[in-house]
Structure 1
Amino acid sequence: MKLVKRPEIEGFLKSPPREVIACLIYGKDRGQVLERGQVLAQKIVPDIKDPFNVSLLTDTDIDADPARLEDELQAQSLMGGRRLVRLKFFSEKAALDKQVAAALKAHASGELNRDAFFLIEAGGLGGDSAVRKLADADKVIASIACYEDETGDVVRMARETLAQNEVALTPDAMDIFAARLPKERGVARQEIERLCLFIGPGSRRTIDDKELQEFLGVEPDASLFDAALQAFGAKMAPAQAGLRRAFAEGEDGSAALRALNGHLVKLRLIQAQMAKGIDAKQATRAAGVFWKQEAEFLRQARAWSDYYLDPLSKELIETDKQCKSTGMPDLLLAERLYMSIAGRAKRLGL
């Protein structure tokens, strides 16, 4: 039974029907999978850590002992009441997928303990997965796919959590914060909760974009972002220094290229906003630019036209492919492109 729309998914997680005896929650967003799995588990049993009523398995467990999964689904509760069999299934082995599907089919047909609820939390199962096919089709099994959150979903989650803690962000600050949040829900939620602690739970404070920058502080890959800024601004020596500092901190060539691409995207966003008649300051804010860097970004956005950015976008993709496939030193490839961009920026008059 495939659940697709948000209301029906939230309704199921809040109050799972008694006739549904199994649920598959899967997707590439592992944080969202685990979060939804936790919510559902708490609805099935009073205490998800109760060893008498809860059995927690991993794909490693069933790989080592193929009979264990059905044994757990067959077992009766020692204390009475409903049992929960919870499987963390993030394996990509086709044989294990078929094995889990066989146990799920036996459970759905009533061959095992119907008072046991079988919860499967899985990774990004493909359309050929036997577990996914069975869960999508059987009426006593719920199937929930977890996709990466859209920006609107992230903003909604942030606003709800902030409101629960009686704090808030101004609209400009929320735009910047949402743009900086990772798409992986578990990490995003941790950042939102950390922001609540920074503002002060229960304080009823609303902070603006400048105050938010104090919280955001220096990113782990700040050296790369700084190096990209310097490269696009024709400052070759600082760009090289920042890049090598990032490499010393453990960053790789692909991360360096992502920083360049992120900078390029911000320049395009600024240009698009200004083309619509939006004033320069608002354009940089819409692009998520740190207020202290607004003047430099505007200077670059005016110099780097589409004529120069379009071929650079293609070059970034090709260089990234080389980093991942040719065996050439990725750090050298990235550094060469940074220096090339700085040289081009100088010829543009920056």
Structure 2
Amino acid sequence: MAQRKAGEVEAFLSRPDTSFPVVLVYGPDAGLVSERAAKVAALSGADLADPFSSVTLQADEVEKDAGRLHDEARTVSLFGGRRLVRVKGAGTGSGRGLAGAIAALGQEPPADVTVVVEAGDCKPTAPVRAAAEKARAAIALPCYPDEGRALDATIDAELKAMNLRIGREAREALRERLGANRLASRGEIAKLALYCMGQDEVTEADIEAVVGDVSLDTVDEAVDACATGAVKRLPELIERLTGAGTATFAIQQAVLRHFQALLLMRDRVERHGESATRVVEARRAPFRRKPAFETALGTWTLAALAPALGTIERTILAARKEAGLSDAITAKLLMDLAVEAARLRAGRGAKR
């Protein structure tokens, strides 16, 4: 099977294997998908400025007419040299038409052509991903939010270009604000480097002054806000997530996991008589999130959590079917949950 683990992708791109002319780049980090697809395109050998050598298609076009991709992939460049065919927006809908084209091109690859397909988060069973992994001349490259060494490498690359150093404490402060989206993170680092131009070293004060928070911590804040009924605070958090380019799939999954955890924890409260504080301690929730966990646990009952989870699951399905409306659908889910939490808290307060 032609695939790479998330941690192996950068190494692969530094030494690209030309035996895989069909490349699927996929994952929940849309910025990283776009950046790596651009890198594959740059390494393809095609003249990206020449419209006869480089063409971009939308996945929904290919889905309606898979022959379009076949025709572009097998077209010979007018002036010779390699060609690039880039397909954007894959991973929504069934994807069977595009998957069929990937499978065919991966089994009988055209000469002197690189095909790069950009997709969102794909399960192993997704037709597009399965086709790329099985075809002999295709490869699938996963892209997940930056962590650890990958994030440090991004920081070092951007700061080195401006001849800037960064100390350990300042680096930790910067890392806490990055990671939700590769392009958003790189943009924040570039902005920081420009701000520090003329200095030798980046300080924590510099980071505090100019770097926006695009970290996954904001996802946790939004999840806690909707679970505790913080309706007034939620719009600002949603705006921060949208501005950072955070994948809606990551938000949806965080909400789903949190409410599933609340269901299990609430079961211990209602059916086993344990206190909310003790249940949260046993859960080993992060220290900064313990108050929110306890508040949510005191707000939602088992009777309320069951329909809430049903709503979350239906919303995730709807967002996948209507990818173009995914941001709006996810934002509405967060607000609806927050309003319901506020209603439940008000009801419990009135009973007292």
Q: Same fold (TM over 0.5)?
A: yes
> 1:322 offset after TM fit, Å?
4.9
Residue aligning to 1:105: 103
Residue aligning to 2:295: 312
Residue aligning to 2:132: 135
Instruction: Check conservation: 2:31, 2:183, Cα contact below 8 A.
Output: yes
With normalisation by structure 1, the TM-score equals: 0.64
Residue aligning to 2:209: 214
Residue aligning to 1:344: none
Residue aligning to 2:274: none
> 1:248 offset after TM fit, Å?
8.9
Residues 310, 22 of structure 1: CA spacing in aligned structure 2 closer, same or farther, 3 A cutoff?
A: closer
Residue aligning to 1:124: 121
**1:72 is the counterpart of 2:72:** yes
SS in 2 for 1:49: coil
With normalisation by structure 2, the TM-score equals: 0.63
Task: Give the alignment of 1:61-210 within 5 angstroms.
Answer: 61-94=61-94, 97-110=95-108, 113-200=110-197, 203-208=199-204, 210=205
SS in 2 for 1:196: helix
In structure 2, C-alpha distance between the alignment counterparts of 1:197 and 1:179, rounded to whole Å: 20
In structure 1, C-alpha distance between the alignment counterparts of 2:293 and 2:144, rounded to whole Å: 30
Percent sequence identity is 24
In structure 2, C-alpha distance between the alignment counterparts of 1:70 and 1:193, rounded to whole Å: 39
For 1:119, give the aligned amino acid. Answer: V
Residue aligning to 2:246: none
Instruction: Check conservation: 1:107, 1:113, Cα contact below 8 A.
Output: yes
The gaps in structure 1 that reach 5 residues or longer are: 233-239, 262-271, 273-286, 288-300, 341-350
Residue aligning to 1:30: 30
Instruction: Check conservation: 2:46, 2:83, Cα contact below 8 A.
Output: no
For 1:4, give the aligned amino acid. Answer: K
Instruction: Check conservation: 1:73, 1:85, Cα contact below 8 A.
Output: yes
Residues 44, 120 of structure 1: CA spacing in aligned structure 2 closer, same or farther, 3 A cutoff?
A: same
Give the alignment's Cα RMSD to 1 decimal. 4.5
> 1:336 offset after TM fit, Å?
6.5
The gaps in structure 2 that reach 5 residues or longer are: 241-250, 259-280, 282-286, 313-332, 348-352
Instruction: Check conservation: 1:25, 1:144, Cα contact below 8 A.
Output: yes
Residues 5, 68 of structure 1: CA spacing in aligned structure 2 closer, same or farther, 3 A cutoff?
A: closer
> 1:309 offset after TM fit, Å?
6.5
In structure 1, C-alpha distance between the alignment counterparts of 2:17 and 2:237, rounded to whole Å: 51
Task: Give the alignment of 1:278-317 within 5 angstroms.
Answer: 311-312=294-295, 314-315=297-298
Kindly report structure 1 stretches of 4+ aligned residues shifted beyond 6 Å: 248-252, 316-321, 336-340
Instruction: Check conservation: 1:127, 1:133, Cα contact below 8 A.
Output: yes
Aligned residues: 280
For 2:22, give the aligned amino acid. Answer: A
**1:2 is the counterpart of 2:24:** no
SS in 2 for 1:67: helix
Instruction: Check conservation: 1:323, 1:330, Cα contact below 8 A.
Output: no
SS in 2 for 1:203: coil
> 1:154 offset after TM fit, Å?
1.9
> 1:191 offset after TM fit, Å?
0.8
> 1:205 offset after TM fit, Å?
3.0
In structure 2, C-alpha distance between the alignment counterparts of 1:20 and 1:108, rounded to whole Å: 8
